[in-house]
Amino acid sequence: MVMTPVLLAGGSGTRLWPVSRKSFPKQFAPLIGDETLFQASARRLSGPRYAAPIVMTNADFRFIVAEQLTSMGIDPAGILIEPSGRNTAPAILAAALTVAQTDPDGLLLVAPSDHVVPDAEAFGRAVDLGEPAARSGRIVTFGITPTRPETGYGYMEAEECAEGPVALKRFVEKPDLAKAEAMIAQGNFLWNAGIFLFSARTMIEAFRTHAPEFLDPVQAALDEARHDLGFLRLAPAPWDSLPDLSIDYAVLEKADNLSVVRFSGHWSDLGGWDAIWREAQDGAPAPEGAVTDERSTAIDCRNVLLRSQNEGIEVVGIGLEDVMVVATSDAVLVAGMDRAQEVRKAVSALKSKGARQAETFLRDHRPWGWFETLALADRFQVKRIVVNPGAALSLQSHFHRSEHWIVVSGTAKVTVDDVVTLVTENQSIYVPLGAVHRMENPGKVPMVLIEVQTGAYLGEDDIVRYEDVYSRN
C-alpha cells in the first residue's frame, strides 16, 4: 500500500539571505543543480512507494508550487494554503485529518521541501524499514548519522545503535560543541531531520492525547475551507487562533510511541552558506577549498565561497580565507565562514532600518510570470515584465500613475477601457491614469515588455482589480 508524502513548503530560509528571502525562499531556488530544492524533494518522494503529494504552503507561494510541480509532470493530491504561519504542528495535523477523510489508517510521510538527499532509493529503503512500525501505531522519525559535531542541528537519542526502527529515547536541543562531540562519540545520537512517518489515525490520537487544543481549530479550518482554483484555502479565523508550535514541542516530546530509523546516506538541510560550501565539494573538493561559480574568481584563496547570482556582477576574491561572499543584483553578503548561522541577524538588522532587501527581491514572481524593477526614482519607475504564454494580468486601474508599455519580444493583447489592441515587437501603447486596462499574452512564447510608470505614488498596492483569472483579492 502506498503512502502520501506531505511536503512542507512555507518557510523563509533567512540563513541563506540574500538569495533566500521571505518573498521567494530557498526551497524554490536552484541552489544545488538545475532543479529547485522543492522540485528535488517532490521527485524524491514520487514513484511506486508514494501516492500523489499534499503540499502545505502559504498564499504567496501557491502559484510557484503549482508551476514547479506542473513542470515536472506531478499532479498533487492537494495544495493546502495556510492563512498564517503557525509552525509545523497545525500543518501536520491538517494533512493527517485530510488523509483520514478517505483512509484513517493511511500512512503519511512528512518532509521539509528544502533538504538535499541525492540518493532517493537509499532514502526509500529507510522509509521501507520504518513502514511496519508506522502501520503498527508508532510515530517513526528519521535520524541522520552525524558526520561531524554539528551545533546547528537538533539531535535524537536512539535506544540503541541499530539501523532501526528502534525506540527513540529523547530529543536534544542544538548543543554546544563539547556536548555535540560527546554525543557523537556515544554512537546512538542522530541528527533530527524533521522527517516523520505515521498513520493518520495515530497522529490524530497523539494530538488528542498531548495537544487537544489543536484539534477543533484545525478541523474547523478544514471544514470551513474554500476551494480557490486548484488550491484549498484553510479558513483563517480558526487557524489564526492556533498556537505557534512545532510538532516536536506540541506532540513528539510527550509521546511514548516513537521509533527512529537511522539514515546513513548523504543528507543536508542547507541551513546556511557553509552547507552550500560543503555540498559544492561533495565528491570533488575544490582546490584549496575555494568554491566559486561561473561569475566568480578566487585568487590565492582558501576555504571560501564566492557566488554571484547576477549575470552582470563578477565577484573576485584575493587572498581570502574562511570567508563567504554572496552577491545578488541588490545586495552583497560578506561574512566569516564560521558565522554562517548568524546570517539571519542581517535580515533582522535590515528590517529594523526599513531596507526592502530584507524580505523582497527586485524581481517579483506572479502567477502570470514575473517583473523586475530596472530603475526607480521620485515619480517614475521602469520595469521589465515577462508574461507567460496564455497568461493574463488582472483587469485593473490605478489612482496615482499612468503607464507606457513597449513590447520588446512577443505579442501583447492590451485592453484600455473599451479598446482592445494587439501590440507587437517594437510597438508601444499608453495607459492613462484611471483607465481600466489589462495585458495578455495570446502567443506561445513568453512576452517581454518594458513598462514606464509615472505618477505621485508607484506602490504595488495602487491597484483596483475588477477581474482576475487567478482569484487574487
pLDDT digits (tens, 9 = 90+) for 406-419: 999 999 999 999 99
Distance CA 255, CA 462 (A): 50
Residue 152, pLDDT > 90, answer no
For residue range 335-360, what is the model confidence (pLDDT) as tens digits?
A: 999 999 899 999 999 999 999 999 99
The answer to whether the beta carbons of residues 419 and 435 sit under 8 Å apart is: no
Eight-class DSSP state of 68: H
> Predicted confidence band at 1 (pLDDT cuts at 50, 70, 90)?
confident
How big is the CA angle at 130 (ends 164 and 150), to the nearest 5 degrees? 60
Q: What are phi and psi of 64, to 5 degrees?
A: -65, -45
* Span 93-118, average pLDDT: 97
The grid coordinates of residue 416 equal 484600455
For residue range 286-307, what is the model confidence (pLDDT) as tens digits?
A: 889 999 999 999 999 999 999 9
* Span 381-399, average pLDDT: 96
Q: What percent of the chain has pLDDT over 70?
A: 100
Closest C-alpha among 442, 451, 369 to residue 411? 442
How big is the CA angle at 197 (ends 195 and 203), to the nearest 5 degrees? 110
DSSP β-bridge partners for residue 430 = 404
Closest C-alpha among 301, 328, 326, 299 to residue 312? 328
pTM for this predicted structure = 0.90
> Predicted confidence band at 12 (pLDDT cuts at 50, 70, 90)?
confident
* Span 102-128, average pLDDT: 96
Eight-class DSSP state of 193: E
> Predicted confidence band at 283 (pLDDT cuts at 50, 70, 90)?
low
* Span 241-267, average pLDDT: 96
The answer to whether the beta carbons of residues 447 and 407 sit under 8 Å apart is: yes
Distance CA 173, CA 312 (A): 42
Closest C-alpha among 326, 332, 322 to residue 289? 322
User: Over the chain, what is the mean pLDDT?
Assistant: 95
Distance CA 226, CA 232 (A): 6
Closest C-alpha among 72, 18, 49 to residue 309? 18
Coil, strand, or helix at residue 65?
A: helix
Question: CATH fold of 4-263, please?
Answer: Spore Coat Polysaccharide Biosynthesis Protein SpsA; Chain A (3.90.550)
Closest C-alpha among 114, 104, 106, 127 to residue 49? 127
- What is the reported pLDDT for 285? 81
Peptide bond into 118 cis (omega under 30): no
> Predicted confidence band at 163 (pLDDT cuts at 50, 70, 90)?
confident
For residue range 182-238, what is the model confidence (pLDDT) as tens digits?
A: 999 999 999 999 999 999 999 999 999 999 999 999 999 999 999 988 899 999 999
Q: Which residue would you say has higher pLDDT here, 60 or 139?
A: 139
Task: Write the CB contacts of 466 (distance below 8 Å, at least 6 apart in sequence).
Answer: 394, 395, 396, 397, 436
Residue 352 identity = S
Give residue for cell 513568453.
446
- What is the reported pLDDT for 473? 63
Task: Write the CB contacts of 336 (distance below 8 Å, at least 6 apart in sequence).
Answer: 322, 323, 324
Closest C-alpha among 123, 3, 96 to residue 52? 3
For residue range 428-473, what is the model confidence (pLDDT) as tens digits?
A: 999 999 999 999 999 999 999 999 999 999 998 999 999 998 887 6
Q: Where are the domains of the chain?
A: 4-263, 273-352, 363-467
The grid coordinates of residue 398 equal 490605478
Closest C-alpha among 324, 379, 330 to residue 350? 330
The answer to whether the beta carbons of residues 205 and 105 sit under 8 Å apart is: no
Class of domain 363-467: mainly beta
Distance CA 4, CA 215 (A): 21
For residue range 77-94, what is the model confidence (pLDDT) as tens digits?
A: 999 999 999 999 999 999
